[in-house]
Amino acid sequence: SASEAIPELDVLIVGAGFGAFSTLHKLRQQGLNVKVYEKGSASGGIWYWNQYPGARVDSADTPIYQLFEPELYKDFTFRERYAGWKELKRYFNHVEKTWDIVKDVEYNKNVESATWDESRHQWLVECADGSETYCRWFIPAIGFAAKRYTPPIKGMGEFKGDLYHTAVWPQWGVNLKKKRIAVIGTGASGIQTIQEIGKDASHLTIYQRTPNYCLPMNQKMLDEAEEQKKKEAGEYEKAHKKCYTTFAGFTYDFSEKNTFDDTPEEREAFFHKLLIEEGGFHYWLNTYKDMLFDEKANDEAYNYWRNSVLKRVPDSKKAELLAPKNKPHPWGTKRPSLEQNFYEVVSLPHVDIVDLQTSPIEEINETGIKTKDGQVDVDIIILATGFDAVTGSLAQLNIRDTDGKSIKERWADGTRTSMGIAITKFPNLFFLYGPQAPTAFSNGPTCVQVQAEWIDKVLKRLNQDGITRFDAKEEAMKDWQRRMNEKWDNSLFPKAKSWYQGANIPGKKVEPLNWAGGMPAYIETLNKSVENNYQDWNTNAK
């Protein structure tokens, strides 16, 4: 019959990034027949697509932004504390070689849709090339930013110069030197692009809608011999273990103290230590535990941060746009960027900021961008306008549940998952680094490893128990939803128009998209769900 020609796998993973590699490696070891289908022509996931100038890790520093496997880090040392995309490319090549990965990855293989075959307890997955594959376990590992967002600006097609989106940057690179450039958007991608290209542009115009509360990265070169010593002394291992125990899967956690437990002098010294000495996300994730919950506490954080920016931006007009006296949203409720010399680059005389709050874009035309304040002619427009984040990746795939409904249809009135890893009536499907998991509030490698380790453990057990159908219970989804909202509603996060809650996309439902209850609670919930004979799951066990 025709179906005999369709290849059959135990596990099909979609996307060749951190999540896929971690999962592939584990599941292969338990003897499963696993393949990865990747839309792009190389590995790297987010780092494959987002090769815009200056793209680099701006969250967790070395050694925790990598897979936590000694056999991988033994022979690979990052050169920088925060790795750039070129070095991540080198890293992915290293993982491919060490784990002999490429034989199990099909590149240029774009998964488009999947339907559940009840008679076989398998998914039938279809790719853009028309090919089909049966798999028992189906694992989209496409993360939170696989669907870019381009705002519907009038006249975009008229522009005669070159127009790029940071999330699909050409692999061959773009010459940006001595050019008149416009960058729209000041999220993480915009800040990194601006800081990288600003100096060499003949003119740079930044179109800012909301200022980014950037933190100093405190980037540094790493000494290979020194890192090697740390590895031998067990410091990498210790750091990785620690990541399972902190809120965001980092090596550090929120302080035990509240903001006003300290005197103003103590607070100032503490803020200085976090912002200036430590740098990175310390000012966000290592600070007073009430900062993201209490307005007054948050004001203290904002004002200290603001003053540090004012010191670096001599032009008072620019300074007011970058760090306004009246804060547009509470500190830390949108994703802070880590910058190296952003504030110095913005201060250069040939760099302008257009404030889209007072001067919105009216149109893009043949020669450039027209706002209420007037026309700016440019050679190149860079859209750094982000993603239909967190839910957009999965919802763009035409995966149908047991009633024939797509994920998009199922989530039309609100995103519903069980523990940010499964969805009722999508049996045998697990997704990585997506909605309602710690995703945006976590170190990516920590989050995907937690999920991959759990999937590995569960599949082993299901196999032993002869279970071939595994579906999240409806009550488990409801319970997770309740817990999701509870954490969120108590925080200041609802006050920002952020992609954390879908507020960056016009018309998208505003709701918490990330688990804000921390990594340890997440791990505990996953583990508990399979206790007492798989209490949160429907199975076909006899």
At closest approach, how far in Å is the CB of 188 from ligand NA7?
Answer: 4
At closest approach, how far in Å is the CB of 431 from ligand NA7?
Answer: 18
Is 58 in contact with 192 (CB distance < 8 Å)?
yes
At closest approach, how far in Å is the CB of 350 from ligand NA7?
Answer: 21
Side chain identity, residue 280? G
| Complex with ligand NA7: residue 188 or 239, whichever CB lies closer | 188
C-alpha to C-alpha distance for 65 and 45, rounded to whole angstroms? 14
At closest approach, how far in Å is the CB of 283 from ligand NA7?
Answer: 16
| Complex with ligand NA7: residue 210 or 463, whichever CB lies closer | 210
Strands 368-371 and 361-364: antiparallel
Side-chain-side CA neighbours of 292 within 13 Å: the count stands at 23
| Complex with ligand NA7: residue 361 or 399, whichever CB lies closer | 361
C-alpha to C-alpha distance for 126 and 406, rounded to whole angstroms? 14
Side chain identity, residue 239? A
What residues contact residue 386 under an 8 Å CB cut-off, 6+ apart? 145, 148, 149, 167, 185, 187, 189, 499, 504
| Complex with ligand NA7: residue 140 or 185, whichever CB lies closer | 185
Question: 138: helix, coil or strand?
Answer: strand
β-sheet bridge partners, residue 377: 368
Sheet with 380-383: strands ordered across: 162-165, 380-383, 180-184, 203-208, 351-355
| Complex with ligand NA7: residue 386 or 445, whichever CB lies closer | 386
| Complex with ligand NA7: residue 20 or 146, whichever CB lies closer | 146
At closest approach, how far in Å is the CB of 190 from ligand NA7?
Answer: 5
CA distances to 63, 179, 289, 427, 439 from 512, in Å: 30, 40, 20, 24, 12
| Complex with ligand NA7: residue 35 or 306, whichever CB lies closer | 306
- In sign, the C-alpha dihedral spanning 220, 186, 383, 189 is positive
Question: Which uninterrupted H or E stretch holds 300?
Answer: helix 295-310
| Residues at the contact surface with ligand NA7, assessed by CB under 6 A | 145, 151, 166, 184-190, 207, 209-210, 335, 356, 384-387, 499, 504
At closest approach, how far in Å is the CB of 157 from ligand NA7?
Answer: 16
At closest approach, how far in Å is the CB of 7 from ligand NA7?
Answer: 34
| Complex with ligand NA7: residue 190 or 427, whichever CB lies closer | 190
β-sheet bridge partners, residue 122: 117
Cβ neighbour number for residue 225 with a 10 Å cutoff = 9
At closest approach, how far in Å is the CB of 398 from ligand NA7?
Answer: 25
